[in-house]
Structure 1
């Protein structure tokens, strides 16, 4: 039985070329990048080269990139360190109800410290209305954190408009966006979109786990979230993971020129899946915003079909999908994203699965997936 992976939004397989780069770095580049001897300088060159690649990929400067352990650390650093540093200016923060837990948990932590957080609602397409951001801004607002694209339903937020609103307002709030899910498919430009802080993770783009970066505008200085040495220009303590950094650089170098090509492929796979399901005797709807949507993420509501049972039946057949975000997989708690979109009484909450494409996904696999979903959902509904 061939196993098929349709959960790339949770994490992605490492690209073979990235594995080669990681192995080569582990074998030959083991010096501490903070050391002044030849071995250290060799590792420092890898870090500096990677920083330039990361910066170029989002329209930033190399000095504006802090290398981190991934999206969670980047989000935590951007949110908590901004709040602690800027509390003399105010203690009000704006975010959305559909953020990743790496954003929501720091917000809850800050609320316990006396900060006030405004959680903006979304419409039934999972969209934050930029005008609501404008209305929520106050003289004491120090930070706005709105994700670039949602990890559960794939909705892409109007980041450019939100950034412009904050920039043109009288507010001094920093604008942070969690771009972890969007980085592999969306063309990101931090200057164009007036973004001050941006989080990225390597394992979403066929890079290694445990590596990512945080963009911080050159006019902003955040204290180190990790206490220890003075690595990353005192922004992030800890000896640099050279193999992981080299691997992420390679993943970004592969991703950048192929972005548009992959986007076209994902749109075709998405359309194929929806068309096959439409032709069958299956009652379903697509969640999210068809106008502004990640092409590789498909959130589907199969009416009358328990998502957990559908997921388990597919898994028994060697097919991996998700019933929500990976960070809540296995939990009996309903998806906070779907709750925010549809309300707690909606049957959609318990009848939605997420299918996501990536490296290795083929048209043949989509056909087989559709065939199995149709067969299993019909049986479960009966």
Structure 2
């Protein structure tokens, strides 16, 4: 089996799974309980929070646990909108955001908020100048992704942050779900950012766990009301075993991160170079400083993306259409549409997404099968 769908989800690391299982057996108490079993679970919870914060360069109380990227994005956007609505109801985002952002924006529009969706250029990047022109007196939030989940474009976070330095009352949120562990911290970590979103299953932690960074002094309206866990910010009994596993996953992720990212970049370079030699193939992910090292998006003219995916699956090779969250709906790539790619091309898009476990041997085998599949469809067309 060759698994090239790591942007959709990653396999839980074996040692992370051991940590999860051990925590489930030995720290099964509720962290909010007063007895010693609860205290032990609470100590593990806070030790994990401290470890994550240190590894990420955050303060311990700036890390708040969630169920993953979708909850994190929903909470930061809605929580900011509800907390700051007396100061304005205008939000700025982009046309290429993840559905958990775009659909949240649509919900807020139904509640009377106004949203500006910034366009992208032909490479899938937004313009800081466009952002500056879109800012209004009633703008309360800007939300952009760090790495586009469909083509891998790294957005100009520092340029955006520089614009927002002149607007300290506008909150800035970055969806960094696809960015962690790719040795690109210098491209998306900026002191002007108020909130970051992270999701554990994108970096070999269990599913159903994630965290947000919430800058010290910032406030969010809670979406989950209940027992007041997470400093009254996010109620619900914390998933302590998964949190401990996530802390372990981040520690492993940070070991030799540059070396791992370089390996992904080399595999990407090899595939992109080969794709560019093929007839009737379009490549939308560049080997460049403003693209992540793990995502390659391409099309084969005249062949729908889901057909390509299933043809590879028949050979025990797993890739995806451009977004796992939209793939079963048969939709064209939202990012390619925003880039003004023709619909008949955009519906042919597929995504290869790598991680540090992938090998050159796997890439060679993938390219061999790609050539065969490509030639087969060229004959049919």
Q: Give the alignment's TM-score, normalised by structure 1.
A: 0.95
* Aligned twin of 1:80: 78
Matched ranges for 1:317-328 at <5 A: 317-328=315-326
Per-residue CA distance 1:332-381 (angstroms, 9 max, x = gap): 221211111124x3432022210011143111111111111111111112
* Aligned equivalents of 2:327, 2:307: Cα separation in 1: 13
Task: Identify the match of residue 92 of structure 1 among 81, 86, 90.
Answer: 90
Per-residue CA distance 1:24-72 (angstroms, 9 max, x = gap): 0011111111122221111111111111222223322111111000111
Moved more, 48-57 or 200-209: 48-57
- Alpha-carbon deviation of 1:225? 1.4
* Aligned equivalents of 2:72, 2:12: Cα separation in 1: 21
- Alpha-carbon deviation of 1:295? 0.6
Q: Give the alignment's TM-score, normalised by structure 2.
A: 0.95
Asked whether the equivalents of residues 155 and 293 of structure 1 are also in contact (C-alpha less than 8 Å), the reply is yes
Shift of the 317–304 alpha-carbon distance from structure 1 to 2, 3 Å rule, reads same
* Aligned equivalents of 1:262, 1:276: Cα separation in 2: 22
Structure 2: segments with no counterpart, 5+ residues: none
- Alpha-carbon deviation of 1:187? 4.1
* Aligned equivalents of 2:269, 2:73: Cα separation in 1: 33
Task: Identify the match of residue 315 of structure 1 among 313, 319, 340.
Answer: 313
Shift of the 137–58 alpha-carbon distance from structure 1 to 2, 3 Å rule, reads farther
Structure 1: segments with no counterpart, 5+ residues: none
- Alpha-carbon deviation of 1:214? 1.0
Task: Identify the match of residue 143 of structure 1 among 141, 147, 150.
Answer: 141
* Aligned twin of 2:361: 364
Task: Identify the match of residue 104 of structure 2 among 106, 111, 124.
Answer: 106
- Alpha-carbon deviation of 1:301? 2.4
Task: Identify the match of residue 52 of structure 1 among 50, 53, 61.
Answer: 50
* Aligned equivalents of 1:56, 1:130: Cα separation in 2: 31
Shift of the 326–342 alpha-carbon distance from structure 1 to 2, 3 Å rule, reads same
Q: Which runs of 4+ in 1 moved over 4 A?
A: none
Q: CA RMSD in A?
A: 1.6
2:150 is aligned with 1:152: yes
